[in-house]
Structure 1
Amino acid sequence: MSRRSLLLVVFTALLAIAGTVPANAQKPPAFQVKDGVTQPVFSAAAAIRESVWVETGTDLDRDGKPDRVAADIVRPSEPAARGQRVPVIMDASPYYQTLGRGNESELKTYDSAGKAVKYPLFYDNYFVPRGYAVVLVDVAGTSRSRGCLDAGGPGDVRSAKSVIDWLNGRAAGYSAVTGGSKVTADWTTGATGMIGKSWDGTVANGVAATGVDGLRTIVPIAAISSWYDYYRSDGVSFTSGTIADLTDSQESQWGHAHCAAVQQELKAGSPANGDFTPMWAGHDFVPDASEVKASVFVVHGQADHNVKTINYGQWWNALPPTTPRKIWLSQTGHVDPFDFRRQAWVDTLHRWFDRWLLDVRNGVEDEPQASIERGPDQWADGKAFPADGVRDTKFFPASGSTAGVGVLGSAQAPAGTRESFTDDGRSAAESWIAKPGDPSSSRVLFSSTALPADKQVSGTGSVTVTATPSTPTAHLSAMLVDFGPATIRSAQGEGVRNLSTESCWGENRPGDDACYQDTEATKANVTGQIVARGWADLANYASLSTPRQLTPGQPYTMTFRLSTVDHVFPAGHRIGLVIGGTDASTIAAPAKLPKVTVDLDRSSVTLPTR
């Protein structure tokens, strides 16, 4: 028996022992391995391209028929001719005919027969020759799918889950969006990996939280884990729009015409006051993270102000302890790793999919769990995230010699120590740290002495503030700041910019090339940088679902979250805490702008440090 044949036999036996081979996938998968990775032995140009519409079991558009979602498939023809089966890489998105995908905003294109020609991103060009099928799913209510877009509700999640069920013989697929003949997936092993950035990665999180059989791994990039935490933070609303407006902007003409009821449910369930409602609970995947059976490879930018980092932090922490996992944290904003660490990303993703979809024992799971960008293109690996040895450490603010500018340390302030600021409704966080030694009417600032050694903060911290408002409404913002000179990725282009050159990743075929613009880091020299942020409505001090009326002149204590972070404060730098009212760059102002007095002896920040 040849070495390759032996590999295939052993692989099939291992799957059978694990009980993960679906009934329709008894033949071995097709792949060739060299140096621990699959080789490009199949032709992308000769690949089979087809579309299937899968019933989701919902009727969100209320047309009296089960919703069907479109899945555009590209798979190597050679294994099909030999009766061999292939695993699936899936990206389910609402953006294939609107914003497009990737740095170059690629859209799906179709020929006159309705077959997909352009498959956005490099996944098909690179992985189809290596023995994978790539399946791009139009989320319900978008592009060629029926149903309604509902941002993490049953429409989104079942769009992709139903396709996984179809791949494993548990759901019905058809050759057309209405009518058509039944189509079966007799060409696949059923093993599926989901990947995607932003909304796409969010769908992957939601599907994984169902515990669906056949989903072997997910790679959520800058993904949401709770839609409440995309639009709200501890009772306060972000100014980034509404959930109903977002879904409405992506829906196809079919969705616009038939989805008024779903839109109304989203509007009614997302009141502007920031309360946590049953609608938000139904769009939160964190409580069901314990159901995840797949391995998880998280990627997120620590400067992502679109999908705040609390989303990856709470998701990561809620996964079962036995979940095989890996995490990359960059200094970028809302950016795909293909555009900030391209070669390493393609190599690592390749080995990750080979390991979890084809059981190639390449050791990727034994490598350091975390890889974190400490400076532009300066990456450091860590054994675990949060870092081994972190413990919650409490820091206390205290007054200094200048009003509103104090110290941050291990000693609690004397009873009765207070500092005040006035919410002007228009100041932004970056302006609060620009001159840390100067007083400001719109914030108070506290900083430690120069650190004698590096201090790492790794995980999710929190701020406790005892505040007395002068009006019945008050919002709070808190910033964890690294004061000291550093070169970081700048906010320009969210930390990257395009170059005039291209690089190619996979095989070109007519209508779908594998070449993409190269990028490089944008850099900035700073003397202070915000490394974690938190926002809250003081009226929600006792409950996120039921705000309380505030009495002017009465103190209230509220603990709220900071964003998840892994950051090293170098020796000689100072740890800063800023507390203000409305951070106008992010949150809405309260109805009546207050003066806020902070009781320092009853306020603190808790950080996971080592």
Structure 2
Amino acid sequence: MKKRQHALGLFPLLFLAITIGFAQEKTVPVFENGEAQIVEGFSDYKEWIRHDLWVETTFNTDGDTTLDRMHVAVTRPKQTDTEGLKLPVVYVSSPYFAGVAADLPGVMWDVEHELGETAKERVHPEVVRRGKRPIISNSHIRKWVPRGYIVVHSSSPGTGLSQGSPTVGGQNESLAPKAVIEWLNGRAKGYTTPDGNEEVKATWSTGKVGMTGTSYNGTIPLAAATTGVEGLEAIIPIAPNTSYYHYYRSNGLVRSPGGYLGEDIDVLYDFIHSGDESKRPYNNKTVRDTEMKNGMDRITGDYNKFWEGRDYLNQMSNMKAALLMSHGFNDWNVMPEHSNRIYQKAKKMGLDTQVYYHQNGHGGPPPMTMMNRWFTHYLHGIDNGVENDAQAWIVREHDKQDNPTAYEAYPNPEAKSVTLYLEEGGNKTGALTWNKQKGQAKNLGSINAPNTKPKTETFVDDFNISGKEHAQALKSENRLLYVTPILKSEVHLSGESEITISVASNKSAANLSVWMVSLPWKENTKIITDNIITRGWADPQNSKSISESEDLKPGAFYDLKFKLQPDDQIIPAGQQIGLVIFSSDKEFTLHPKPGTKVTIDLNKTNISIPVVGGIDALIKATK
């Protein structure tokens, strides 16, 4: 009897040992040095579970009688089925997954016409949809699934197999990813078909979601975050478009994104509209041919309610997600102001915020280590201290993109605004000089003093001449150029330059373009920072407000103040900082017929540049 009791007493211990043994064999995420590691058990792509479904949203934007459903694809380790493993999600959404329209002649708006005139109607292309179920995209899966994440993709409204209409920044493009995140948290319904009732549940999700993506795919994480949806813990937008006004307009001026002359919001709508062919006529009539046509305003370029509703800076009050922003200072497509304006607001809101800037063009994610630490902390809950890392990471001019330099913040806290004034001679080369005391440039007597007569210089608009040619010309009637003394040592600029300018035109409208450059111009260089420092554009008709235009009175002066694109750049010794002022920008603005005369009042024109170390550093560098 005692022996039997003894045997029974051993049984629980044996059972416990066996249970522990099984537990030790389970595949789980592994973390080292604050980063999720590649786990062999998650790495065989042949064993990944891949399936698709449709998540029901809270909106109906394609003219039928049912709520729109978003097409969603899931890629997850087999252990989420075989071992009941729950994992966090890296989520990517895009309007591009099912293909885009062909670049046909006439797709873009014609830019060769007078300012204030209506361009001829453009061609509207149709997207030939591609893609098969259940795979929407293979992006990011090899990066994150082996590290212990589930990767989810979805097509945005009106694209691919997602229902609804594209709105290019409209409310449904925020609510669509919100619905997917709600489904991942068990608060929204998913279905096996676009119109059926068989439900799919995300039983394998922990509910913690991180989003990332580049360009439009980077805009959608921000759009989702502005809804304040519970479960979206962190986002990593890469070169995101954060305001469609800032993408297609500049200080009241109709301006194209770099490389896409003549593009506007309705062009992008056509480019991505890959959804159900039977719904396209309704969507085109409702969104493109009514809402966009009535709101986009290519005549004045003013900021209005249409653009206000497509500016995510206005929608950030509910945002809770931690933000790691990435952008290139020489991105002339989605310009760096897009990231900076959101980063600055997120800081003020007290959100966990970091920014990564590199010196190249469009795209470019943060180093994998940064992204890994970000998602490891916010999605897996590992205390790796990432929230205490440096707030700004900037790739210096000749460094690799995975080797950024850490700074306390952006702009560099040691940067101070230095005002430079313009001396006569801009049709050849005038001087940029600084002011030691209260508004009088050194040795320039009454410059910028009140009640002085205008000191003017004039140039003639000609869109055929590029900004690059303007900067290199030794003499030109088509631009004004002003330069600092030659730098004897390097100067570090960090932040936004701001120009104050008094301008007159002999016509009722004129383009205004401003470049800051590093001279002498270097030809045949592959280093993008060698020549252009920053740029900006404005409409003199909007001297009072970007929301209000008025025809210019020929010969009358109008005072404007506007910021150029943010930058962080070290100008090397031997160079001069140059300010180029001209009218139509061949790469970006409308192209009115050459001949408009534009006059600048030097007494009321200056530019403030953000110098690390302030005026003392600039003076020291030129001695």
Q: Which amino acid aligns with 1:146?
A: Q
What TM-score, normalized by structure 2, do the two folds share? 0.80
The equivalent of 1:546 in structure 2 is 548
Q: 1:232 to 1:221 in 2, by over 3 A?
A: same
The equivalent of 1:564 in structure 2 is 566
Is the contact between residue 35 and residue 369 of structure 2 (CA under 8 Å) also seen in structure 1? no
Aligned counterparts, 1:216-231, within 5 A = 216-231=233-248
The equivalent of 2:480 in structure 1 is 444
The equivalent of 1:266 in structure 2 is 292
The equivalent of 1:364 in structure 2 is 386
Is the contact between residue 211 and residue 292 of structure 1 (CA under 8 Å) also seen in structure 2? yes
The equivalent of 2:510 in structure 1 is 474
Q: 1:75 to 1:439 in 2, by over 3 A?
A: same
Is the contact between residue 463 and residue 559 of structure 1 (CA under 8 Å) also seen in structure 2? yes
1:32 aligns with 2:30: yes
SS class of match (1:605): strand
Q: Which of 407, 410, 415 lines up with 1:385 in the alignment? A: 410
The equivalent of 2:229 in structure 1 is 212
The equivalent of 2:576 in structure 1 is 574
Q: 1:168 to 1:591 in 2, by over 3 A?
A: farther
1:97 aligns with 2:121: no
Q: Which of 451, 461, 467 lines up with 1:423 in the alignment? A: 461
Q: 1:213 to 1:277 in 2, by over 3 A?
A: same
Matches of 1:574 and 1:236, distance apart in 2: 29
Q: Which amino acid aligns with 1:189?
A: T
Q: Which of 305, 310, 313 lines up with 1:283 in the alignment? A: 310
The equivalent of 1:341 in structure 2 is none
The equivalent of 2:70 in structure 1 is 69
Is the contact between residue 473 and residue 593 of structure 1 (CA under 8 Å) also seen in structure 2? no
Matches of 1:454 and 1:291, distance apart in 2: 43
Gaps spanning 5+ residues in structure 1: where? 9-27, 101-106, 338-343, 491-522
Q: 1:181 to 1:311 in 2, by over 3 A?
A: same
Task: Quote how far apart the aligned CAs of 1:553 are.
Answer: 0.8
Is the contact between residue 474 and residue 592 of structure 1 (CA under 8 Å) also seen in structure 2? no
Q: 1:164 to 1:427 in 2, by over 3 A?
A: same
Deviations 1:13-45 (A, max 9, x none): xxxxxxxxxxxxxxx995222343223232432
Task: Quote how far apart the aligned CAs of 1:87 are.
Answer: 0.6
SS class of match (2:423): strand
73-82 vs 269-278, which deviates more? 73-82
Q: Which amino acid aligns with 1:329?
A: Y
The equivalent of 1:409 in structure 2 is 433
Matches of 1:196 and 1:305, distance apart in 2: 18
Q: 1:291 to 1:567 in 2, by over 3 A?
A: farther
228-237 vs 310-319, which deviates more? 310-319
Is the contact between residue 53 and residue 71 of structure 1 (CA under 8 Å) also seen in structure 2? yes
Q: Which amino acid aligns with 1:157?
A: S
Q: 1:565 to 1:290 in 2, by over 3 A?
A: farther
Matches of 1:246 and 1:182, distance apart in 2: 34
SS class of match (2:65): coil
Matches of 2:383 and 2:464, distance apart in 1: 55
Deviations 1:200-244 (A, max 9, x none): 101112211222221111111111111111111111112431211
Aligned counterparts, 1:484-499, within 5 A = 484=520
Matches of 1:262 and 1:422, distance apart in 2: 40
Aligned counterparts, 1:154-193, within 5 A = 154-193=171-210
SS class of match (2:531): strand
Is the contact between residue 236 and residue 588 of structure 1 (CA under 8 Å) also seen in structure 2? no
- The structure with the larger Rg is 2
Task: Quote how far apart the aligned CAs of 1:163 are.
Answer: 0.7
Matches of 1:59 and 1:442, distance apart in 2: 52
Which of the pair is proportionally richer in strand?
1
The size of the alignment, in residue pairs, is 533
Task: Quote how far apart the aligned CAs of 1:392 are.
Answer: 2.3
Q: Which of 268, 273, 276 lines up with 1:246 in the alignment? A: 268
Q: Which amino acid aligns with 1:81?
A: T
Matches of 1:563 and 1:371, distance apart in 2: 18
Q: 1:45 to 1:350 in 2, by over 3 A?
A: farther
Matches of 1:29 and 1:428, distance apart in 2: 59
Task: Quote how far apart the aligned CAs of 1:581 are.
Answer: 0.3
The equivalent of 1:17 in structure 2 is none
Q: Which amino acid aligns with 1:606?
A: S
SS class of match (1:283): coil
Deviations 1:93-120 (A, max 9, x none): 01112159xxxxxx9853xxx322x733
Matches of 2:522 and 2:427, distance apart in 1: 28
SS class of match (1:319): helix
Q: Which of 492, 510, 519 lines up with 1:483 in the alignment? A: 519
Matches of 1:419 and 1:449, distance apart in 2: 21
Is the contact between residue 36 and residue 360 of structure 1 (CA under 8 Å) also seen in structure 2? yes
Q: 1:607 to 1:212 in 2, by over 3 A?
A: farther
Is the contact between residue 100 and residue 271 of structure 2 (CA under 8 Å) also seen in structure 1? no
SS class of match (2:376): helix
Matches of 2:35 and 2:264, distance apart in 1: 44
Q: Which amino acid aligns with 2:295?
A: G
Task: Quote how far apart the aligned CAs of 1:84 are.
Answer: 2.9
Q: 1:588 to 1:403 in 2, by over 3 A?
A: closer
Is the contact between residue 244 and residue 266 of structure 1 (CA under 8 Å) also seen in structure 2? yes
Deviations 1:259-311 (A, max 9, x none): 02011211221111311121111100012234321111222122212111211
The equivalent of 1:57 in structure 2 is 58
Is the contact between residue 234 and residue 537 of structure 1 (CA under 8 Å) also seen in structure 2? yes
Matches of 1:377 and 1:602, distance apart in 2: 40
Task: Quote how far apart the aligned CAs of 1:486 are.
Answer: 7.1
Q: Which amino acid aligns with 2:511?
A: H
Q: Which amino acid aligns with 2:169?
A: G
The equivalent of 2:591 in structure 1 is 589
